[in-house]
Amino acid sequence: MTAFVFTGKLVQLSLAYDGLTIYPLFTPYTNNEYAKKISVLRDDCCILQFVDGLTAEGVMGLQCVSEVSRHVSYDRRVYREDDDHDFYHQDTTDKDHLHYHIKFKHPLSSPERHEIFAMLIKHGLLGPDEYQDFEKAYIERDYQYQSVLMPLLQGEREADVKMIITYIQKTQDNDLLAHLHQYLLSEAFNYLREQAVG
């Protein structure tokens, strides 16, 4: 799965299918030995204020991740020891760099993305202008995905079904295929779902 990566002033964001990864570009800890201990303590005890070693930005980051974990679409955090951890590293960022994987129950809709990014803005990890830049680039990528397939389609059911199947077989980018699936569910493609005559 190819992730959509956006770099802001304080964080790099990697969004792929149902997962968001937040890579802090600031120093979250005053002492690096706290890095793993804080994550475990936060998740096991749900406390932030009593943990020594966090910078102001580190507190903002953990508070943001904690708030996102209460969103209705939230599924779970993904940790290094989880079997599917590597699945969330389909970007070029170093796995050893501090980061937070957040898995959602499904790919985020535009309104859900807006809610999640409002949390990032609220906690000072992303600026409103950065969010607008992210959204514009993300929508442009979706448009590019659609524009790859559209010229291949002829508006004739049998030919288009064969073309789409061939396209899917040749495409290795799962994120592109997930977006394609959502796109093909629109009314414009109802003719593909009609029963073949004969």
Which residue type sits at 104? F
Mean pLDDT over the full length of the chain: 82
pLDDT of res. 31 = 67
Task: Sheet with 74-78: list strands edge to edge.
Answer: 4-7, 11-16, 19-24, 100-104, 74-78
Q: pTM value?
A: 0.75
150 pLDDT higher than 60: yes
pLDDT of res. 1 = 46
pLDDT of res. 85 = 83
Annotated domain spans of the chain: 4-126, 141-193
Q: What digits encode the pLDDT tens for the residues 60-102?
A: 998 999 999 999 999 999 988 888 888 777 666 777 778 899 9
pLDDT of res. 48 = 47
Q: What digits encode the pLDDT tens for the residues 23-40?
A: 999 888 776 555 555 555
Q: What's the sign of the alpha-carbon dihedral 4, 178, 88, 53? A: positive
58 pLDDT higher than 50: yes
